[in-house]
Amino acid sequence: MPFNINIPVQNFSLGPESGFFYYVSNTLNALIKLETDGTVIQVYPIQRSRLRGTITELHWDGSHFWTMEDLPSQLGLVIKRWRITPVQTAQGLPPGVFPVPAPTDFTWQDEITLINAPNLRYVSKAFCVEHYHRFLDGSFVQGQTTLRLNDVSELSTGDTITIGPSTAGSFTGFQEDVLVTNVNPTTRFITIGSASGLENQYTDTDPVSFTKSVFLFNDHAFSGEEDRKGAILQYAWPSKNVILTGNGMRYNNVGAADFDFTSLFWVRADQIMEVNIGTNTFDVASSNESNLREDDQTTIIEVFDMITDLSNNQHLKLQNRETVEDVPTGNYTTFSWGNDFNYQVQPTLTVVNSISLNSDTRFSIPFPSGDHIQWVAEVRDQYNFPVFNETIQFSAAMHPLSDAGIPGTFDPTTGVTTTSGTVETEYTPSVTPNPIIVEIQAQVL
């Protein structure tokens, strides 16, 4: 039974150190850092807050963690922002004295508390954080108030950015938050609001990140009842003001969500859906069938949390069971991890996801009938779009419930899909005195 991180909770995320996963444990009251094989590396105890419900999702925005938990007595829910502290920086230290305090705690920073309101009941298992990652374009020293980034899109005056961790000499690992007071979209220079300038020194390509808003997927809309109509709410950060609301069933019953580049991704039933938040219409930009049925092809597998990693063309879906396909046979098998959770990878690059077989005729009269039956196989990817240039092989076999007989023949037996994702063939039934049942298959070679 394949497993990877094998964690006991239904939340996970990436974090400050690449190559590691993190989760929040209600039992241990801590943030846990672990290797990709599930080995626990470090435990950061929670500080300045108390968990009031099971953590349903965990996100990392480049500088902070975010969690969501239900409030007791069905009061609503709370989204909290956390940071691993103490943050390493040079602030307040004498020149040349740079002690390196070890990060030890998982410390509450802020929160959005959502109490059920007359017009809205908060029931949600998914939220995500609109965050962006940039890099410094050049090296910058302590005291500088003007920086240059590789890209200033989405960045506005008034935003707070996190610079670092630094890779500059004795400042390695240091970071700081600064307020942006001016952005020049042409030169990509920004001015920061600290009179004393940068606290640390940075080198070219050191990371910069900033958070703009939080999206909440709610099961119910704005009737004040549990109407199952679904809603999405966007809260500006750090003001927490609601700046967008929308309703629709697509936002209902969402199990997990994430944000990457400029798109929201969320899991609803079988699909990972995408909206590019830069579009005015907020239309669904893509929908990815994500292998979320057990091998009976009926029971849905729940996704509890998700990491979208577009740079590596994948979504990592946190599940307590997974269905895998044996490619040579096409058979599916579902593995359960019991009370533990592992991630299953769902590719964002297109792969063959389904083949349909289409014919107007499925009955041929026996004996030398002269029948020639046209079949069309259509190949589609996980986005339900046609797949071009796939080689398809047709085959026929006797159905287990059939009387003995000989299957017919195809001409051609293989073909390559067109831009419509289709391949055509002609089936000639065998000469048979009695009715027989034949199974026809199309398979990607």
In 3D, which of 406, 373, 394, 388 has the Cα closest to residue 441?
Answer: 394
* Radius of gyration for the chain, computed over Cα atoms and rounded to the nearest angstrom: 27
Find tokens 């199309």 and name the residue. Answer: 442
Select 229 or 240, whichever has its Cβ closest to another protein.
Answer: 229
Q: Binding string to another protein for residues 12 to 51, with x set by CB under 8 A, is what?
A: ----------------------------------------
Q: Name which of residues 407 to 436 contact another protein (CB under 8 A).
A: 433, 435
- Choose which of 227, 302, 340, 424 interacts with another protein (CB under 8 A): 227
Q: How far apart are CA 377 and CA 383, in angstroms?
A: 17
Nearest distance from residue 289's CB to another protein, in Å? Answer: 5
Select 158 or 248, whichever has its Cβ closest to another protein.
Answer: 248
Q: Name which of residues 246 to 285 contact another protein (CB under 8 A).
A: 248-250, 252-253, 268-271, 273, 283-285
Select 151 or 295, whichever has its Cβ closest to another protein.
Answer: 295
Select 83 or 220, whichever has its Cβ closest to another protein.
Answer: 220
CB 25 within 8 A of CB 71: no
Select 261 or 367, whichever has its Cβ closest to another protein.
Answer: 367
Cis (ω within 30 of 0) for the bond into 165? yes
Would you state the structure tokens that stand for residue 139, as one six-digit string?
């090296």
3-class DSSP state of 377: strand
Is 351 one of the binding residues for another protein (CB under 8 A)? no
CB 284 within 8 A of CB 268: no
Find tokens 């076999």 and name the residue. Answer: 397
Nearest distance from residue 48's CB to another protein, in Å? Answer: 39
Nearest distance from residue 338's CB to another protein, in Å? Answer: 24
Beta bridge partners of 324: 333
Q: How far apart are CA 247 and CA 232, in angstroms?
A: 6
Count of residues binding another protein (CB under 8 A)? 52
Nearest distance from residue 249's CB to another protein, in Å? Answer: 5
Nearest distance from residue 312's CB to another protein, in Å? Answer: 24
| 288 Cβ contact list (under 8 Å, min separation 6) | 271, 272, 273, 274, 315, 346, 348, 382, 383
Question: Which part of the chain contacts another protein (CB under 8 A), choosing from 61-69, 77-85, 180-188, 356-364?
Answer: 356-364
- Choose which of 356, 389, 391, 395 interacts with another protein (CB under 8 A): 356
Cis (ω within 30 of 0) for the bond into 429? no
Q: How far apart are CA 53 and CA 416, in angstroms?
A: 54
Question: Which part of the chain contacts another protein (CB under 8 A), choosing from 9-17, 139-147, 372-380, 389-397?
Answer: 372-380
CB 162 within 8 A of CB 209: yes
In 3D, which of 249, 253, 216 has the Cα closest to residue 233?
Answer: 216
- Choose which of 74, 358, 389, 413 interacts with another protein (CB under 8 A): 358
Q: Name which of residues 298 to 327 contact another protein (CB under 8 A).
A: 298, 300
Q: Which residues bind another protein (CB under 8 A)?
A: 227-229, 248-250, 252-253, 268-271, 273, 283-287, 289, 293, 296-298, 300, 330, 353-363, 365-367, 369, 376, 378, 380, 384, 399-403, 433, 435, 437
